Amino acid sequence: MTSKHVAFYITGGIAAYKAAYCVREFVKHGYEVRCAMTKSAAEFVSPLTFETLCKNKVVSDLFDQNNDSQVAHIDLADWTDLAVVVPATADIIGKMANGIADDAVSTSLLATDAPVFVVPAMNEKMLTNPAVKRNLKRLKADGIEIIEPDYGFLAEGYSGKGRMKEPKEIFSYIDEKCRAEQLIDLSGEKIIVTAGGTVEPIDPVRFLTNRSSGKMGYALAENAAAFGADVTLVHGPVRLADIPGVEMVETVTADEMASEVLKRYEEADVVIMAAAVADYRPEKFYDEKVKKSDGDWNLRLVRNVDILKLLGERKTKQKLVGFAAETENLLENAQKKLTEKNVDLLVANDVSRKDVGFGSDENEVFLLFRNGAKKKISKTSKEKIAQDVLSELSSL
């Protein structure tokens, strides 16, 4: 991991001193580092600290060209493989979200096409201010990754959310992503991912659905795209932001999801069925809201199409990844699904557990392969599970 060029953008928060530890961590692990600082950041820590740590001149004044033929902030933007804004003030977050370029840091950030990680650090009330929340949401929608602040003791003397993630954690998170990207190359692969639960309407106001949040499928799609794949995400109604660079296809019912997947199947190299597709739907859709009566209502359900099974039957060149969400006999049921549905890799998880699975940011899964091999991924983030699944897939 020696060739990556990492640009640090340090802005004027009390946590600016921690950015020095971050820079040191990256330098120590062989990354090439350059830094840019705002005028406010230089009030907290001297540019000399960063110049000494990264052995490069700090870019801080938009108009000081240092008698160089290069324009310093553009040169930095072009040189960058990945950018880290740390600590990120409410101010720089607002500027980035709105395309403002009025100093060396904001202008250089606007000029880079490298992936950007933003590490906010601020007072809890600033962090929960609607304007800051709106700006962070906009950055996420623009494909910028936010390394969320922790809850902890703040410089103001009380505890709250807003404390910058520790430098070692920031390093591990970014470093792991870089390693995964180097190891997993999915360029040229056409991948369809499905995510979320489907919704089966009963009448204009009632429907049947399940507890799937879509987070696992979204993590898979986002990471597959980062590893170079051409990704289409066919999803049910979920509360998650669109992923930049991924073709987003919104569906509601299992039938709609099936038809969107099938119409792209022939062209696809891989299909990852992470959606929780409803097995049944109401036999009849009532055009008008069904009036309640004193008696009971027996709702008859009919079988939905089994998308995974259909894909297994029609498989030619494609690799198929299935998910099994079970509440009992996890491995036994998953193994059965793998064989019966002609799947290449099956990800099985126990959805009876409260701490992982549906809705949670974490999961614990077993990977089952066609040759009978099994691998356990102990409780970790869905992001990490997505990377592990894609890594297995790339070596299938």
Ligand X SMILES: Cc1cc2nc3c(=O)[nH]c(=O)nc-3n(C[C@H](O)[C@H](O)[C@H](O)COP(=O)(O)O)c2cc1C
Annotated binding-site ranges for CTP:
279, 289, 323, 337, 341
Stretch near ligand X under the rule CB under 6 A, chosen from 90-98, 211-219, 224-232, 236-244: 90-98
Q: Is the peptide bond before 87 cis (omega within 30 degrees of 0)?
A: yes
The span of 5-13, 45-53, 183-191, 262-270 binding ligand X (CB under 6 A) equals 5-13
Q: What's the rounded Cα separation, in Å, for the pair 191 and 265?
A: 9
365 closest CA partner among 350, 353, 354: 350
Cβ contact 338:346 at 8 Å:
yes
Contact 390, 220 (CB under 8 A): yes
Least Å from the CB of residue 14 to ligand X: 4
**Which phi and psi (to 5°) does residue 333 adopt?**
-65, -35
Residue whose entry in the numeric block shows the structure tokens 């049947």:
208
- Of the candidates 135, 210, 223, 363, the residue annotated as catalytic is 210
* Mask for 9-28, x = binds ligand X (CB under 6 A): --xxxxx-------------
Least distance between ligand X and beta carbon 44 (Å): 7
By CB under 6 A, which span of 89-97, 167-175, 181-189, 262-270 interacts with ligand X? 89-97
Residue 311 binds ligand X (CB under 6 A): no
Q: How far apart are CA 386 and CA 246, in angstroms?
A: 16
Q: How many residues does the chain have?
A: 396
How many residues bind ligand X, per CB under 6 A? Answer: 15
Helix, strand, coil shares of the chain, percent, nearest 5, are 35, 25, 40
Side chain identity, residue 183: L
| 107 lies in the binding site for ligand X (CB under 6 A) | no
Any idea which residue has 């739907």 for tokens? 281
Shortest CB 63 distance to ligand X, Å: 16
- Single out the residue of 21, 32, 40, 309 in contact with ligand X (rule: CB under 6 A): 40
Half-sphere exposure (CA, 13 Å, Cβ side) for 213? 15
The one among 89, 210, 223, 232 contacting ligand X by CB under 6 A: 89
Answer yes or no whether residue 308 interacts with ligand X by CB under 6 A. Answer: no
What are the CA-CA distances from residue 387 to residues 30, 211, 329, 355 (Å)?
A: 23, 23, 26, 21
Query: By C-beta, is 73 or 319 nearer to ligand X?
Result: 73
Q: Pick from 118, 152, 121, 110: which is nearest to 137 by CA?
A: 118
The reply on whether position 41 binds ligand X by CB under 6 A is yes
Site string for ligand X, 113-142 (x = CB under 6 A): --------xx---x----------------
77 or 122: CB nearest ligand X: 122
- Give yes or no for residue 38 binding ligand X (CB under 6 A): yes
Q: H or E stretch including 24?
A: helix 16-28
Q: Which of 221, 219, 233 is nearest to 186 (CA)?
A: 221
101 binds ligand X (CB under 6 A): no
Strands 301-303, 280-282: pairing kind: antiparallel
Burial environment of residue 84 by CB neighbours within 10 A (0 to 12, 13 to 18, 19 or more)? buried
CB of residue 32 vs ligand X: minimum separation in angstroms? 24
Candidates 6-14, 244-252, 276-284, 319-327; binding stretch for ligand X (CB under 6 A): 6-14
- Quote the least distance from Cβ 78 to ligand X, whole Å: 22
Q: How far is the CB of 35 from ligand X (least distance, A)?
A: 13
- According to the binding rule CB under 6 A, does residue 86 interact with ligand X? no
- Asked about 210 being catalytic, the answer comes back as yes
149 binds ligand X (CB under 6 A): no
Residues that bind ligand X (CB under 6 A): 11-15, 38, 40-41, 89-92, 121-122, 126
Residues carrying an active site annotation:
210
